[in-house]
Structure 1
């Protein structure tokens, strides 16, 4: 049997452990980075390294080789926090599109920032009205990919990322008058991000949009105060108001469609 192969576009906080996961499962793994300094790290993990920057690298052969013979491409890099984020992020995705071959499946690691605050649950079929420019950029790229790839694409919208060296206690430490203390939060652990991607590929679930989020939604002020205290940091203080603006990300589709059980269903476990 021919060995399975996967290309992972973006080997950062999530992409690198994701690549190692597939190496451990006997995949040939190609991983991209924008830094030559990471080449040795990737090689030592048995990941074939490719160095390029979308929108800046003009080398068709690099893109062709990166995608050649891979069954699946995982697009896993967020939009940069720059003034023209909306245009640049779309240009970056459009740079790789011509090199995705017609039999290749794609997972786009998206974000729940595409959802507006509804003060209620949100599911994958809600009409998206992003409130921040980053969410608008991500939604624009989703639409580009859907138009180009159609049923070969699955979009995975992750909630707030945490786990390992991404420590929530640092997020709001020392801050004062933080808003929305009474709002429920939406988070997902790195292990579950990898688990969901693996489940999609293993079960050949394509043409879908799926939310990734922990089962439990603790209140913002409870979670971040505990998180800061656990790290020995000054906990944040929150505005004394009953006004809240939030959304609660439903993960029901991920659990029913993929038969997935979250490894870390309650983020509070990590901060108590």
Structure 2
């Protein structure tokens, strides 16, 4: 796709979406960003990005500006909200969003999903695994992915990111000073924000549409190794883990690598200073 000709809208300019909007704006693209926060809208405007207040509660707010959907590519980047009816609520959000996209000029969509769609099967998982996830957030995302996959009016690609780290998200504080933490021998599935942004750009620049792609560091150190190292590097009290596994998965990103993507960080331990 010719960068000079395409427009991109980012639904959800939070911890990942905001720097993603900046990334594309810095390339000279027409970027539109949404947020529910007036403060974030001002930050977007200061960067020269068209800002829109878009809410899904669970339907689109009645006074939303439809110009946000006057774009070529839409990046959908908001997680399921933690609530008792998380599955029904998120499903209604996605259904409302799809209805708006159908009425728009959007031809391509990237959906930011999560590796929480995978069950802990104590083995490697790839994009073909269909076991039901244990968490309702994962179940909600599975349904969202399926709804988008059924659409024929636009092409969707789904990125299942591992746990997001980098910058102010310092994993060293997660378990700082805690003792007898279970699942110490379980592998971690994490990814740095810079890789996330580059992967989204990779999908667009390489025209990878209609695909599901896992995205996390190719190497998977044990929890006890990663979080102890994180505490040391980031100057938190070192946690103590039990040497056991209670349930885990190793998320394979071979498909993404075969598409030509080269990770900035092979091992999440390498991310800890950045």
Query: In 2, distance between residues paired with 1:239 and 1:4?
Result: 51
User: Does structure 2 retain, via aligned residues, the 8 Å contact 1:4–1:28?
Assistant: yes
Query: In 2, distance between residues paired with 1:126 and 1:38?
Result: 37
Query: In 2, distance between residues paired with 1:39 and 1:237?
Result: 42
Distance verdict in 2 for CA 1:167–1:148, change over 3 Å: same
Report the alpha carbon displacement of residue 135 of structure 1 after superposing the two structures with TM.
0.6
For structure 2, which runs of at least 5 residues remain unmatched after alignment?
A: none
Query: In 1, distance between residues paired with 2:105 and 2:53?
Result: 24
Q: Secondary structure at the match of 1:221?
A: helix
Query: In 2, distance between residues paired with 1:129 and 1:57?
Result: 29
1:130 is the counterpart of 2:133: yes
Query: In 2, distance between residues paired with 1:250 and 1:144?
Result: 24
Map 1:60-79; keep pairs closer than 5 Å: 62=65, 64-68=66-70, 70-79=71-80
Report the alpha carbon displacement of residue 176 of structure 1 after superposing the two structures with TM.
2.6
Q: Secondary structure at the match of 2:110?
A: strand
Report the alpha carbon displacement of residue 270 of structure 1 after superposing the two structures with TM.
3.5
Query: In 2, distance between residues paired with 1:149 and 1:178?
Result: 46
TM (norm. structure 1) is: 0.93
Report the alpha carbon displacement of residue 84 of structure 1 after superposing the two structures with TM.
1.5
Report the alpha carbon displacement of residue 222 of structure 1 after superposing the two structures with TM.
0.8
CA-atom RMSD in angstroms: 1.8
Q: Secondary structure at the match of 1:107?
A: strand
Query: In 1, distance between residues paired with 2:67 and 2:188?
Result: 41
1:153 corresponding residue in structure 2: 156
1:232 corresponding residue in structure 2: 235
1:249 corresponding residue in structure 2: 251
Query: In 2, distance between residues paired with 1:94 and 1:122?
Result: 28
Q: Secondary structure at the match of 1:180?
A: coil
Map 1:3-152; keep pairs closer than 5 Å: 3-55=5-57, 57-59=60-62, 62=65, 64-68=66-70, 70-100=71-101, 101=104, 103-149=106-152, 152=155
Query: In 2, distance between residues paired with 1:184 and 1:169?
Result: 16
1:264 corresponding residue in structure 2: 265
Residues matched between the structures, number = 268
2:226 corresponding residue in structure 1: 223
Q: Secondary structure at the match of 1:121?
A: strand
Query: In 1, distance between residues paired with 2:32 and 2:154?
Result: 23
Query: In 2, distance between residues paired with 1:201 and 1:184?
Result: 30
Query: In 1, distance between residues paired with 2:24 and 2:33?
Result: 11
Distance verdict in 2 for CA 1:61–1:161, change over 3 Å: closer
Structure 1 stretches of at least 4 aligned residues deviating more than 4 Å after TM superposition: none
Distance verdict in 2 for CA 1:150–1:5, change over 3 Å: closer
Distance verdict in 2 for CA 1:151–1:33, change over 3 Å: closer
User: Does structure 2 retain, via aligned residues, the 8 Å contact 1:4–1:26?
Assistant: no
TM (norm. structure 2) is: 0.92
Q: Secondary structure at the match of 1:164?
A: coil
Report the alpha carbon displacement of residue 148 of structure 1 after superposing the two structures with TM.
2.5
Report the alpha carbon displacement of residue 98 of structure 1 after superposing the two structures with TM.
1.5
Query: In 1, distance between residues paired with 2:186 and 2:224?
Result: 8
For structure 1, which runs of at least 5 residues remain unmatched after alignment?
A: none
